[in-house]
Every structure is written in structure tokens, then in C-alpha cells.
Structure 1
Amino acid sequence: MKNQYILFEMASGYSLFHVKEVVSIEALLKESTIACADYGRFHSMVSLVSFAPFTTADMAIENISAVTKGEVTPFLANFLKQQIGSKKEKSEVGVADPALGQSIKADLGIACVFNDGMAEIARWIRYHIAKFIPELKDVDITQAQLGLAHAFSRTTVKMNVHRSDNMIIQAISLLDQMDKDINTFAMRVKEWYGWHFPELKKLVNDNCVFCRLCVAVKDKKNLASPEMLQTVTDICGDEDQAKDIQKTASISMGMDFTEPDFLNIEAFAKRVVTLTSFRKTLHGYLVDKMNVVAPNLAALMGEQIGGRLICQAGSLTNLAKYPASTVQILGAEKALFRALKTKGNTPKYGLIFHSSYIGRAPKEHKGRISRYLANKASIASRLDCFMDEPNRVFGEVLANQVEDRLKFFETGQEVPTNQEIMDKAMIAYKESLGAKPDKKRKREDGDGDDAKAARKAEKKAKKEKKAKAEAAEAAPTPAVEEKKKKKKKDKSKGESMEA
């Protein structure tokens, strides 16, 4: 029978327990929990083998984070090797997470067990842990758990201040939802107030202005006063439109409302006006966030489309990892899978269809410009994700490239190469950061025509000298001398033979 152990991880460190009587413990757990609550009886069946404390808070958070991911840290590996290394073939270790057990078996070759019995034993070990390890007091254990819980929560939801793309995801999602809600509520206000003043919705198209008029005017009879005419003019921003509203109100066919009706309409219209105001504030917040987190993508695609791309991808890092072909159809997954299922044509564009570049492109070139735009958007997202200090320099350059491509499709005008444009963009980026140019580049830029001519002459002289040296080495003189020597030797041999 194999030796049974239980690995118990806590905020203070790792502990390894030896289970003496597995069968009796499982039977005991089924019978009653009162027996396990007795430390004396429980200690007779489970004993502490070793305890490895965490020396620092960083060490604790590193090990516990690895355990939650099912990974084995070097500290845990050394601990298990020291305790079970020589007898691992005859031992089994109970773990609280099957993923951790698989990692231990793969890395250390120690068999691991995960079942209900081991989970119950671990629960009672946690209950008696202060008695198993007298050095750890209840207060110390509680403080360690509290500190580790706060640190672990911070690392779980931790975001880089300069890469707070989650704020963009929440903002763009809320912005889309608010657009739907404001439109729905405004339509409800128009339909509701339309029973009293049905002609107003034809004179005023803006939903926010309509709701503000409902709050200010209430009863259409109030429009006859000069003060109300001035109020309507201030709201609409057009005196002629205000006079048309006043004139139409005098001949309106709407029904009369009671005071409670006006109060409810006013309260609901105020809510729509408040939502519209908050929507403008939220849009400004999104613009500011995009200029901080993804300035190049915002300069190329716009804040809203760039934010939707990040939201659809899940994060800026995920968007940066996508190839341009995926960015091109991002947001058109339903059409893509339908095309794959029916073996039809796949979509040419997804969210980037709302870009002004594709709207301005001719019909026959929409697919080409969408592919080109997706390529530039992929580059912009990677620049924003992996640059230390991103700004709008590259995004504006990429936007100009798309503009040049549109002109090329329309007029056939040649565009500069990508290498030339990126070189200029890199120089502009360094200047925007206030970086000094390289010494080599500075020296070359400062040289005159005479210095360049001197360098060329020097290079030419070196080449000629090298060519002469190679020609001298390749000369056949030594070979001729060797042939003459051989002839002399052969002649002397012939004379000796004749003698």
C-alpha cells in the first residue's frame, strides 16, 4: 500500500501531512464530524511531516498565484523533493486542485490524488492548523490570510495605469447602451407628448431639444407669452423656428392634458435630458482615454471605432496580436460563420465598415481599402500596445497613407513608399519626445560636399590598392620558376644517364 500524504497550502507557507489510516478516516468522516473536531483523535490519524514557511509577502503571493493557476513553483518543487523525493514511487499526495496535481506529476513524477475524502481531510487540517503548528498563532494566521487576500485581489484585477483598456471597453459598451436607451426614451416622450402637441415632433428633430421644450413649455397654451417665446428661442437656437412653434401651437389639434399628466411627462423628459448630458460627458471621457491608451489607433480610426475594436477583441493586447485579416472582419463573425457554413463569399469588413475611409471609397474599391485600412489598424494597435510612450505621430502618418491610397484609387497618383514614410515618422516621433539624434547621423548631416568627395576618393584608393594586392598574389611568376627548376633537374638527370 502506498504512503498517503496531503499537501496543504495556506497564506503562511506549504505544509505536508502524512495520513496514517485512510480507510478509517473516510469511514469516520461518514459517521460524524464530531470525532474529527476532536484534535486528539484526528491527530492520531493525520500527522504533520514538514512545514515550509514563506519568508516574504512577495514570495507568498507568487506561490499562491501559481497554485491557483495549477503551476509548480521552484520553492514547492524543492519542498516536495526533500520530503518525498526518495520514496516517490511508493507515495501519493492528495491535492486540493486536480490541475496542480497534474503539474506535480508531470514535473516531479509524484502521483497525486484528488477526491472527496482528501478534500474533507484538508478541511479538518485547516480547522486544526494552529494546533498542528504551534509556532503559528491564530492571530498570525488571520493577519497573513487577510494580507494575502488583499494582495491576491490586487494582482488579479491589477491594470497598468497607462494601459487601462478595460476603461475603454466599459465606456464604449455603456455609450452604445445609452444611445439605444436615449433613442427609446425620446421616442416614448415624443409619442406621449404628441397627444397634446402632435405638430412639435415635425418641427423639432433633435431628441434632446424636444425633451427640453417639453420640460420648459408643458402646456402649449403657454407659448403665447413673449417670455416663453424667448425661452424657446434659447433652447432651439433659432428665432424663426421658435416663431413657427408658437404659430403652430395656436392651431394645434392636440388634446388637453391634466396637471398630473404634465408632471409625469416633465419628470420623464428631464431624465432623457440628463442621460443626453451624461452621454456627452462619457464621450469626452472616451476620447481622453483613447488618446492616452491607444492614440495611434484613435488618430487612424477615430475614438469610437477604435474603442469598439478594442472592446470586440477583449483588450488592446488581444487586438495587437490579431493579424490584419482578423481585424478586417472583426465584428462580422456571424456573417463569416454563415458564409463558411453555406460555402458563400466571406464578408469584406466588420466594424471598420463605419470608418469614413470606406464610406468615401468607390464601390469597386471598398474591399481593397478595407484590407489596407485593417493592415494599418493592426500596425497602429501594435504600436500603442508595445511602445513605452505612444503618441499620435504614427497614427497621423498611417491616416495620411490611407488618404493617399484613396487618391491612388481615384486618380492613379503614385504614393511614396512605406519605408520613406516610416523613416520620417520615426524622426518626428523622436523629436516629439525631445530625444537627441544619433551622433553618427548628426556628423553625416553636418558634413559638406568637400568632405563627402574626400571620403569617396579615399574609398576608391583603398579599393584600387586592394585590387593590386590581389593581382600580385594571383601572378604566375613562382609557377614559372618552379617549371624552370624542374627542367634543369630533368636535364641534369639526362646527362648523368648518358654518362
Structure 2
Amino acid sequence: MALFLLFESASGHSLFLAHGLDEIGQNTEAVRSSVSDLNRFGKVVKLVAFHPFESALDALNHCNSVSEGLMTDELRNFLELNLPKVKEGKKPKFSLGVAEPKIGSHIFEVTKIPCQCNEFVLELLRGVRMHFDRFIKDLKPGDLEKAQLGLGHSYSRAKVKFNVNRVDNMIIQAIFLLDTLDKDINSFSMRVREWYSWHFPELVKIVNDNYLYAKVAKFIEDKSELAEDKIPALTEILGDEEKAKEIVEAAKASMGQDLSPIDLINVQQFAQRVMDLSEYRKKLYEYLVTKMNDIAPNLASLIGEVVGARLISHAGSLTNLAKCPSSTLQILGAEKALFRALKTRGNTPKYGLIFHSSFIGRASARNKGRMARYLANKCSIASRIDCFSESNTTTFGEKLREQVEERLEFYDKGIAPRKNIDVMKAAIESTQNKDGEMEVDDTSAEVSVKKSKKKKSKLEAAEDGEPMEVTNGDASEDLGTEKKKKKKEKRKVDQEPEQENGVNGFNTEQDGIVKKKKKSKVEDGEDLQAASEAKKKKKKKSRTEDDE
């Protein structure tokens, strides 16, 4: 049986014929040794046909179809023209060797050409790839390398397709840069304070903010030139006239040393650098907020932009964060403490990056762990909605935030929170109403959850508006006043026949029968005692007579 080899290269499709081979008993090691020798390999494998690609775009389309396991129309025409025709009802006397089994199965389904992919075929294709430039004579020495490089770049670009508006890599870089800027601004502002305090030490106690301190230091320059005519300008910078007057009075009686003009110029330049960094930090924070609202709006509305961005950057991407269970998300950022606790068999950490959320700070000390677990659960839900939903909405995040607020009130005051299923129903209805779609029917909003009949009745009563009181989220009183009335009527019906027969609900006839029975039993007991005493006396008499 003849063996044809299909080889896909960056320049085009080619078809080779491997003749004079006995597949039975072929050893792959022997084939590997013979492939490296072109003289031996060229006698066995020969080029049958070659179809070049028309352009780089055509080559990219063919490469994508091969990677997906699909046969293009051009490849089908190329095979049908250059391979022997297969007659209906007869087995073909040849087979086609391919490198990818997926495309081989698709070729067989469409054209009924038998395909095979094994170690023997792969070794032959490796030899074809090694000596491909020798088989095609029209190729120049550098043409094949250029085609491979261009196709590799275009193919990798096509594989890394992304939505420009939803790129979580920008969030990761922005939050890293924001943390770095915070550290740099703090260290630089402390350096400005130390440097300028040699000249004007009283300014540190008057102005506490780092940005305002750098701005005031740049404005004052030399304290000896500071006069009352500069108070309006200082009030514009500080926003407080009293502080401006205090600065002017402190400059008059300052104990600092004088600085040379060159030193003052350096202090001004460094203060300007700190101001520029702080302004850039504000712009970067605004950029982070906009990106979080585009990529993860529900997570941002639930836990905040900064904490949400830290969670995404620590997980690696929004998709990785969505794949994490809530127990993993709860301790993201506390891996060292977790492994140390596992090693020393101590207490595992309760929270990681989630600790920076305001919800954990508002919870009491005994409820921080439970609050962290509940918040991690809601964050995992929000991240999955952001990752896999097509619509960009913050409705779910706002509803989840309301749930966390209700849980805080439950821990503090004992007010029972709403159930998650009811909150999600309301969120779905609100999103559908916002999008202009039809309102959800009662049947479409139902969720198939296995519950007991009592819980179903309670839910129905709550939806109908009947009163339902809950204490501590666990115990619930009877629903509605109608049920109470029914119970009272049943009790009255049960008590009426008893009151007819006797007085105060007791049956006198039955009491008389019981008394008679008790009397008969007592009389029977007395007769038995008398008979037993008579027998004992007879036995004693007989014993005394025998003794005599």
C-alpha cells in the first residue's frame, strides 16, 4: 500500500510519496538514523506536488484551520487533484500520513481518504521538515526562514486576541505602580520635611499633610522674605487663613538656620518633584477606578476598587480569581501565615487582603472571622459574574453589598437578613428592566431548589404579604391569623362532647364504673388473704401432730 505524506509549511502545502517501505516490522530507531542522511532519505521520499500560499493572510488562515483540526476548501482541492481517486465500494490502495490526528479524521469524514498518524509517519515528516529546502528548488536560502518568522508572529498575535475594554493586565500594573508610588511619595515627603526643617523647623507642626507641606515649602522659599502680604496666597494653598497667619508669625520667630540660594533651589526642585508624583498618583487612582468599573464593576462596587484590584493582581487575572473558591479567596495574601500554621500545627489565618475592606474593620473582634468568610463568599460570586457575564452592570455588586450590610446588622443587633435567592431574583429583574427587556414572569423567576413544605408555605405567605415575624433568624411564629382561628375552633369541638356528659368537663358515668371495679378488686384481694391464712394454720396443726 502506497503511503503519501501531507506536510504543512509556512510557504504552502506539499505532498510527498514514501515508496519502497515495508511498514510491518519498521523500527522507529532505524528510521531516525536513516532520516538524518539525505542520500538515503531522498531515495525513499519524493515530492509529488506543492501548493504555495498566495499571501501572509492566506497562510495565517490555513495555520488557524490546521490548529483547529479543520480542512479548508483549497486543501481539499489540492488532495483530490494529486491523490489517486477513490472508487465507490472499493478500498483505496493508499493512505495519507498526517501530523495532526484531528485534521486526519476530518479529511476522512469529508473525502473518505484513509489517514494515519503514528510514530513511523511522524519520523518521516520530521525528515521532510529537515530537508524541505532541498526538495523545493525554487526556494531561496532565506525565504523559508522569513516565512516561518512572519507566520509565527501573526499566528501568536491572532491567538492572543483580547477585548481592549476588558484587559485585566492594566489593572495589575496600575495597582503595583500605585503601591510603589505610595512608598516613594512617603519617603520623598519625609526627606523634604527633614531637609527644609533645617531652615524652618516650626512648619512641620503647623502643616501635617505631605502634599501641602511640599507646596508651602516651594512657595515660601526663604523664611526671612515671608511677610503679611503673602497671607492671601498662603490661604489659597492651605484653605485656612488662621494657619497662614500662624505660619507668618512662626517665620518671624523661627529658630532655623539660614540656607544658601543653591540649597534653597535644590529644596524647591525636590518639593516640586514630590508634588508632581502626588498629582500623578491621583490621576493613576482615577485611571484604576475607571478600569475596574469596566472590567470588574460588581467586585468594585462590593469591596472597593483598590482591594478588588489587589485581589485580581494577586490571583494573576480575573479569570484565575473567578476560578478560586471562596475559602481560597479569603486567605489570598496570607500564604506565609497559612503554611507556617500548617507546619507548626497552629491556628490558620482568617483573612488576607480582604482585611483591608471596611466591612472587616466595622465588625466586632469575635465576628471578624465570620464576616471575612461571608465577604469572601460574596466576592467570589461577584468575580464570577464579572468574568463570565457579557453585560456590564453593577446591580449584582450593589445587591451583594446590601447583603453584607444586613449580615453586619444581624451580628450586631440580631436583625434577620434576606435570603440570597430573593436578593438574586430582585437583581435579575432589575437588570432585565434596565436593559429594556420584557419583565420576568413568575414562572421564569422560579428556582428549582429542594425544600420542605413548611419552607415553601412560609415563602408563599411572605410573597402574599401575610405577617411573618422572625426572632434571631431562626425561630418563626405562626403565619397569619386564620390558622390561629382554625386551631381554636378545633379545640372547642374537642371539648364540647366532654362537657355534655359531666360537670366541668368530666364524665360522671365513667367515674362510677371505675369506682365499682376498684371495689371488686379490693374484695377479691381480702378473700384471697383469708384463704391463705387458713391454709397456713392447717399446715402448722399437721406438723405438731406429727411431732407428737
Query: Is TM more than 0.5 here?
Result: yes
1:244 positional shift? 1.4
1:155 positional shift? 2.5
1:9 positional shift? 3.4
Question: Which position in structure 2 is the counterpart of 1:360?
Answer: 362
- Does structure 2 conserve the Cα–Cα contact (< 8 Å) formed by 1:13 and 1:60? no
1:170 and 2:173 are equivalent in the alignment:
yes
- Does structure 1 conserve the Cα–Cα contact (< 8 Å) formed by 2:217 and 2:268? yes
1:125–1:292 Cα change, 3 Å: same
What SS does structure 2 have at the residue aligned with 1:163?
Answer: coil
1:144–1:365 Cα change, 3 Å: same
CA deviations over 1:345-369 (Å, ceiling 9, x no partner): 1111111100000000000000001
1:413 positional shift? 0.8
1:378 positional shift? 0.5
Alignment counterpart, residue 236 of structure 2, candidates 234, 239, 259? 234
1:341–1:19 Cα change, 3 Å: farther
1:109 and 2:122 are equivalent in the alignment:
no
Alignment of 1:77-476 (within 5 A): 108-111=117-120, 125=132, 131-132=136-137, 134=138, 148-149=151-152, 151-227=154-230, 229-438=231-440
CA deviations over 1:400-428 (Å, ceiling 9, x no partner): 00000000000111112111111111111
TM-score normalised by L of structure 2 = 0.63
CA distance in 1, matches of 2:194, 2:19: 74
1:376 positional shift? 0.4
TM-score normalised by L of structure 1 = 0.69
Give the count of matched residue pairs: 404
Larger radius of gyration: 2
CA deviations over 1:436-468 (Å, ceiling 9, x no partner): 2257879xxxxxxxxxxxxxxxxxxxxxxxxxx
CA distance in 2, matches of 1:45, 1:262: 85
1:9 and 2:16 are equivalent in the alignment:
no
CA distance in 1, matches of 2:37, 2:142: 33
CA distance in 1, matches of 2:213, 2:165: 40
What SS does structure 2 have at the residue aligned with 1:159?
Answer: coil
CA distance in 1, matches of 2:407, 2:210: 38
CA deviations over 1:324-347 (Å, ceiling 9, x no partner): 111111111111111122222111
**Which is worse superposed, 146-155 or 307-316?**
146-155
1:383 positional shift? 0.8
CA distance in 1, matches of 2:353, 2:17: 57
Gaps of 5+ in 2: 21-30, 84-91, 100-115, 445-548
- Does structure 1 conserve the Cα–Cα contact (< 8 Å) formed by 2:334 and 2:351? yes
CA distance in 2, matches of 1:207, 1:215: 12
CA distance in 2, matches of 1:384, 1:392: 9
CA distance in 1, matches of 2:32, 2:314: 51
1:320–1:53 Cα change, 3 Å: farther
1:255–1:48 Cα change, 3 Å: farther
1:301–1:92 Cα change, 3 Å: closer
**AA at the equivalent of 2:253:** I
- Does structure 1 conserve the Cα–Cα contact (< 8 Å) formed by 2:34 and 2:41? no
1:401–1:46 Cα change, 3 Å: same
The percentage of counterpart residues that share the same residue type is 47
- Does structure 2 conserve the Cα–Cα contact (< 8 Å) formed by 1:15 and 1:48? yes
1:110–1:281 Cα change, 3 Å: same
1:207–1:415 Cα change, 3 Å: same
**AA at the equivalent of 2:337:** A
CA distance in 1, matches of 2:58, 2:255: 78
CA deviations over 1:241-277 (Å, ceiling 9, x no partner): 1111122122222221111111212112111111111
1:86–1:170 Cα change, 3 Å: farther
CA distance in 2, matches of 1:304, 1:215: 31
1:303 positional shift? 0.6
- Does structure 2 conserve the Cα–Cα contact (< 8 Å) formed by 1:209 and 1:236? yes
- Does structure 2 conserve the Cα–Cα contact (< 8 Å) formed by 1:92 and 1:110? no
